[in-house]
Amino acid sequence: MKFIDEAVIYVEAGPGGNGCISFRREKFVPKGGPDGGDGGDGGSVYLIGEKNLQTLYDLKLKPHYKAGRGMHGKGKGMNGRSGKDRYIPVPLGVEVYKNDKFIGEILEHKQTLLVAKGGKGGRGNRHFVTSTNQAPRIAEEGKPGEKCKLKIILKLISQVGIVGFPNAGKSTLLAAMTNAHPEIADYPFTTLTPNLGVLKDNFKNIVIADMPGIIEGAHKGKGLGIRFLRHIERTRLLVLLIDLSVDAPLKQYKALLNEFKRYSPALLEKPRIVVFNKIDLLEKIPEFKLEEKIFYISALKKIGIDELTNYLKNEDFLKN
């Protein structure tokens, strides 16, 4: 299934049923009064969070959704049945925009968000009796349901986000720490979509995301651009993965921080660590002093992985 993180859909709530004009007609009641029932309310459209979904691919395939219409009222005071609500499953982490206005987000399993309200059913003629009009021949029509276009943007929810330049070894590190099996190859942009893995221990599960490679100018859309920078926004901890085998590894470090700042300065406020990878390719490992905690590893040879995973498991802000 393709990873799709943005979709536009069209939703239509059900119209309300019409009220009924009716009068009692019984054998021994010669002057029966009005008894028209009310129309049922139209069904509404909701988005509902589904923890097992990771993409908006289904919404891309099927962009139109309708809820059920309300039934018309009948005689003998019988109200029409309300229309059936429509629930559209979406992944956790979506933001929803209606007419370019933010209306809410879904972050929890089975959380719902009303996006189109059903029309109100019309009242039957029994509601229009007055002292001067004992036999009203009027009833209300049902109101139309709301119709709208929604823009849905997915921002993956993960506790740890691995970010770095192409070929830094992000997918290899994810595979070394978790049960994930991302595509791994020696060419740029192997990872075209975020990959998720779970680091498990006896007390908790930590969701780790391997983000597609970031290059200088990503905040302007270069490379894979801001499509994937936004997936970093909901991570609790950023892992800056730096290829130690390149000529100037600190240049990558500074470039990543610069892209964060230009995309959203709030990213710089997130807790982060720096992981220098590919130490197996060097005879002598240089030592750097940075403001972040530093790890030296070889994701391919699984050197230093235990120290890194133990650190992540013991971080208090990852426990909840």
191 is annotated as contributing to ligand binding:
yes
Phi, psi at 11, each rounded to 5°: -120, 145
DSSP string, 255-293: HHHHHHHHH-GGGGGS-EEEEEE-GGG-SS------SSE
| 3 state DSSP class of 227 | helix
151 is annotated as contributing to ligand binding:
no
164 is annotated as contributing to ligand binding:
yes
178 is annotated as contributing to ligand binding:
no
Distance separating alpha carbons of residues 217 and 268, to the nearest angstrom: 17
Both tokens of 125, joined, read: 């003629």
Both tokens of 196, joined, read: 């998720």
112 is annotated as contributing to ligand binding:
no
1 is annotated as contributing to ligand binding:
no
280 is annotated as contributing to ligand binding:
yes
119 is annotated as contributing to ligand binding:
no
Contact 275, 173 (CB under 8 A): yes
295 is annotated as contributing to ligand binding:
no
85 is annotated as contributing to ligand binding:
no
298 is annotated as contributing to ligand binding:
yes
Phi, psi at 302, each rounded to 5°: 60, 35
83 is annotated as contributing to ligand binding:
no
Residue 11: name the closest of 98, 92, 103 by CA.
98
Distance separating alpha carbons of residues 303 and 134, to the nearest angstrom: 89
Q: State the helix-helix crossing angle for 170-177 and 305-314, rounded to 10 degrees.
A: 70
300 is annotated as contributing to ligand binding:
yes
Residue 174: name the closest of 144, 197, 153 by CA.
197
58 is annotated as contributing to ligand binding:
no
213 is annotated as contributing to ligand binding:
yes
203 is annotated as contributing to ligand binding:
no
Distance separating alpha carbons of residues 255 and 207, to the nearest angstrom: 26
228 is annotated as contributing to ligand binding:
no
317 is annotated as contributing to ligand binding:
no
List strand residue ranges (DSSP E) for 125-204, in order. 147-154, 160-164, 195-200
Distance separating alpha carbons of residues 85 and 106, to the nearest angstrom: 18
Binding residues for GTP: 164-171, 189-193, 210-213, 277-280, 298-300
Binding residues: 164-171, 189-193, 210-213, 277-280, 298-300
Binding residues for Mg(2+): 171, 191
